[in-house]
Amino acid sequence: MVGPVAPMSAVRAAVPPGSSSSKGGARRGPHLRGSRRGGHLLKGVHRLHASNPDRSRGAPGRSLDLGEESLLSQNSERETSAAASQGQGASSSLESGENVGAERSNSKINTNDTTAENTQTTLESESVPQTNPPPFAAGNTGAVVGNTPLLDLSRLSKAENVKILAKMEFLNPTGSIKDRIALHMISRAESEGKIKPGVTTIVASTSGNTGCSVAMVCALKGYDYIVITSKKCSEEKRGSMRAFGGQVIIADDGLAADHPEHYVNLESTLCEQNENYFGIDQYENQHNPEAYYTSLGPEIWQQTRGRVTHFVAGGSTGGTVTGTGAYLKHVSDNQVQVLMPDPVGSVIFEHWAKHVPENELQASGYKVEGVGKDSIPGTLDLSFVDAMISVTDKQSIQMCQTLSSTAGALVGGSSGLNVYAAVELSKELGRQNPSREFTIVTVLPDSGLKYLSKIYNQTWCEENGFMDDECDPQDEVNRSRCRDTAVPRASATEVDDDLAAEENKSPLFSREVANAFLKDAADILTEYAAAEDVHVVDDTSGGNSNSGNGSGGGGGGNSNSNNSNSNNEQEDNDETSPLLSSSSYNAPIVSTTALGGGANPAFPRAKLADPATPIPPVITLASPEEIDAAYRERASMSLSLLANGGGGSHTTDKLLEALKVTLDMSARTHHPLFLNQLYSGVDPIGLAGEWLTAATNTNVHTYEVAPVFTLIEREVLAKMASIWLADPDEVTSVAKPTTNRKSSFQKFLSSSEAADPMPTPSAENSLDDAVACAPPHDGLFVPGGSISNMYGMLLARHRADPEYVNRGAYGAPRLVAFVSDQAHYSFSKTAGVMGLGRDNVWSVESDASGAIIPDALERSIEKAVAEGATPFFVGATAATTVMGAFDPFVSIREICDRHSFTPAGASEDERVPIWMHVDAAWGGMYFMSPKLRKQTLRGAERADSLTWNPHKMMNMPLTCSVILTREPGSLQAMNASNAAYLFQPDKNFVEYDLGDRSIQCGRKADAFKLWLAWKAKGDLGWCLEVEHVNALGEGLERMIMDQQATSSVAGCSFEGRFLMATPRSCTNVCFWYIPPRLVGELDMHIVTVDSMGEPVSPVSLVGVPDELRSEIDGVAPKIKDRMQRMAGDGSALIGFQRNKGLPNFFRLVLPGGKGLSDEVLLRMLKRMDELGKDL
């Protein structure tokens, strides 16, 4: 039997002094340690991430053992007499006159206090008022109302010490918790003589479930009934209400609460007009919460054996949260705390958290049924609510789908709302007190069978934006709603002194708090980094490609072209790479076939969910003042560190909010249309590697402090050197070279079938043997491509003048370096830093594509020699920053060899060629495709040194840059300082130390993230990615050229408003947008198609008047400004600039293909056209 309980009137009278006990009031009891700090996290809008099943104390739906007995009520037969005769909980046998709170004087009941120790509380005997409604025969439908079992949902908990249990109220006869109040309120009305079977017609206004329950009870007792609901009510619930034989009236939805035709007001109107009509009045009838006080509350207490610590329930009438909360607070001596979730669109949250008066409350539309309200009902007593959480429709509905797929519970939207809130509460409880055990009990109010046409209907979910890959349509409203509600309603005097002192400590003063903070921060960052914003994946598309050039087709897969690398199986790896599956987040998305290319079946096809759907912003550019204001408003802190001692010790919650503000105000580089820079969103495997190296916080200077990272750096450098130094003619396949010639690529990538076998790494070889299989090389991971280029120039100087590092510039020969006029500016900066002088870096003319002109290079070298200088360095480029040009490396190597020189201090017969360095920071990824390296990188393998930035097209987190040289030991010879405190010659494994090769002391372990990603993708994965992104560049170029020739592309009429500005190279596509008012005038001076009708690329502006060129020059900056600010959509981020005497053009770069297709790029062009038409 359940312990003695007090009537609700007695509980209300026992509310602590200073609390509000009136309707709509709010109370925070002094016991509520979590409500001051916990309340503001409970307002969060975090997306649910399913917890590791291994953390579960019991799988969903199974019995959870808390001691001798199971917490779950087995109750398999649920017979009428079970609760009454055997005392197994408080069933709703209200009609039989059973006292569900039967006396048990001086009963000892276990409870948990705030110290987490079990204590024993003696409750005074006090009975629930008796009622004597007419009895039912055993087996009557009404006799099986209530006494529902508990479902264990603890695997969804975000904390090991927090259990989540849910009352399965959908097991009531009509599939709803409302059976409890319908039976109780009608029985009460009968006992009070207000209604009589055969005479009275019962009228009930309802959002759905109460109407079904009233209809069932009326059929049972012999009453006619009329139920009134709104158009929001599901068709399934309408059918249930009709099925019991009564009348159903459907009122308009969305009417103001005081509108005479609002469904609630129609109930009173009908009753006023008909004397034999009796209104249930569930929103004001105090028998509503009484039903829960005398049934649901006692059941929860008995089934958990008094171990419940928190109760979670949303409210429409408010009866559940009021009645159950009142009972649990009374029986636990006010220890049980109550959390009330409220859907976005309901007014209860604003009234409770923001003190909005009832007459000023304004509801908005929302989809979840049976919870929330457009006014404050009289049956809701907020004095029993300790905290509230605002929940969106999407969060509720996706939780329903989680429950059905993981717990086998098909439930309605209010259940999803309750469980979502319980999961968020578990996170907060685990953070605040990880050493205490908590038990959360919530309710599953109704069955999902009532919502098959909605919640479990994919079309309905898609129409309302509730799919996984869509932005939450209520997210911004929810953020605004929760703003300034971080602290539950409590005066300063209600805050315990020790809690206040605790909040003044550093937010990470304990290991437990730091652990919880890092977990929450990781959730935020993971959700951000793994977001897919623009496209959905269509796994059914694709097919075999017969395209020879790969245009629009990705270049890999089952292509019949010569580059069919993906037909080869990767050796020693029978499993598909995790990043090559169609379900993978980072798998490249092959270009669509709009341009005639075939789709690569290795990858899914990217497409837009709905062409009318706005693309989420890449960035909405804010001013410094606006950014600072965002931190002040949302995180309660300023950007400044100068005032208030650096800002004070902000709580972890504020720090987490600061993370979110930072992400919201930053450019979303992971967005598919972030096309502004030579980098983009990170590879998820690489990101995991970055997090690990940050967590270890070590330095790759000595083996003893970074043994794993040291070995991995050696391995990755050997791998990259093997790829770079391979002869491109010997590399015809990623997985297995077909030549019998002995190549460095064969030595490292695969087993050779040559007649003269070469050593290859195997499981039996040592790591040293594996590195020895690579060609002779040296290298380091360095902090950026600019530093890598500096290393290249320093190595060249060291060969030209080995004593320079000791002697300095005094007496040194004049050294001159040569780079293209399109080369990266880091060469000039390096010359200034290393004392060479910027005037001694000579710029060499490039051709129209941006590639260096060999004859111009040779003339420059000859001129320098004539001036008595020593040409010592040529910096070639593999994919220039602006135009993406690849220099002619074969010719450059030949020139460098022809113009050899004698290094300082050497004899004449020790002449050396000019050092050739290749800056492949941008284009290095092309080494991974045999086809593309032959087209663009031939001769680069003959260079003396190489820069390669995996943080660009390989999408590694910034920074990840490499300097490689074919000269072993050259870095050590140039940079060694033999620091005695680090590089002791007699310590263990000193031969593995990398630190003395570097110009730095400290170096990050940047190799690890690339190594980890390489293990996931393999050579084939990189090959497919680079060929895919190259095909996207080709496809975009073809789109622009096609509309030059035909005025339209793929059904979009641009009428020649886009023109190619430079030849496409690499994935750089440079083009102009010409506003309509300028098209006609410009057409008089340019040629966009040749004599055969083929489009011209690039379009020459020679002969275009200066005034017209000036107007074209101003277009790109204005469109970009509109993209970022004026239009406010931030739909894409694309760079622009002047180059080679041309007016400003857009420079679109494709650093990665995630989420991109021809269709997405075409939509981007359409958006640019919309923003530029009126210029």
Measured distance CA(477)–CA(346) in Å, rounded: 12
Q: Would the CA dihedral through 89, 94, 97, 102 be positive or negative?
A: positive
Q: 1098 preceded by cis ω (within 30°)?
A: yes
Tokens of 1123: 């993209």
Q: Would the CA dihedral through 256, 262, 267, 271 be positive or negative?
A: positive
What φ, ψ does residue 561 adopt, rounded to 5°?
-80, 175
- 3 state DSSP class of 49: coil
Is residue 1100 packed enough to be buried (19+ CB in 10 Å), middle (13-18) or exposed (0-12)? middle
Measured distance CA(817)–CA(840) in Å, rounded: 6
Residues 411 and 170: beta-carbon distance below 8 Å = yes
Q: Would the CA dihedral through 1165, 1167, 1173, 1175 be positive or negative?
A: negative
The vertex-638 CA angle with 635 and 642, nearest 5°, equals 145
Cα of 1037 vs its chain's centroid, Å: 31
Measured distance CA(101)–CA(838) in Å, rounded: 91
Tokens of 162: 């927090």
Measured distance CA(229)–CA(232) in Å, rounded: 8
Please name which of 202, 174, 183 lies closest in space to residue 96, comparing C-alpha atoms: 183
Tokens of 748: 């490292």
Helix (H) or strand (E) holding 134: none
Helix (H) or strand (E) holding 154: none
Q: What is the DSSP letter of 586?
A: S
Residues in the chain: 1175
Torsion of CA 687, 688, 694, 696, to 10 degrees: -160
Helices marked H in 612-651: 624-635
Residue written as tokens 């802190």? Answer: 637
What φ, ψ does residue 210 adopt, rounded to 5°?
-60, -35
Tokens of 693: 């190296």
Tokens of 381: 């007593």
Ordered DSSP codes for 249-281 = EEEPSS--TT-TTSHHHHHHHHHHH-TTEEE--
What φ, ψ does residue 493 adopt, rounded to 5°?
-70, -15
Tokens of 714: 């050696």
Beta bridge partners of 337: 310
Measured distance CA(477)–CA(479) in Å, rounded: 5
Helices marked H in 445-585: 458-463, 475-482, 497-503, 511-529
Catalytic residues: 178
Residues 800 and 836: beta-carbon distance below 8 Å = no
Torsion of CA 405, 411, 412, 414, to 10 degrees: -100
What φ, ψ does residue 229 adopt, rounded to 5°?
-135, 180
Strands 310-312 and 438-443: parallel
The vertex-1091 CA angle with 1085 and 1094, nearest 5°, equals 95
Please name which of 764, 742, 765 lies closest in space to residue 753, comparing C-alpha atoms: 742
Q: What is the DSSP letter of 901?
A: B
Residues 211 and 229: beta-carbon distance below 8 Å = yes
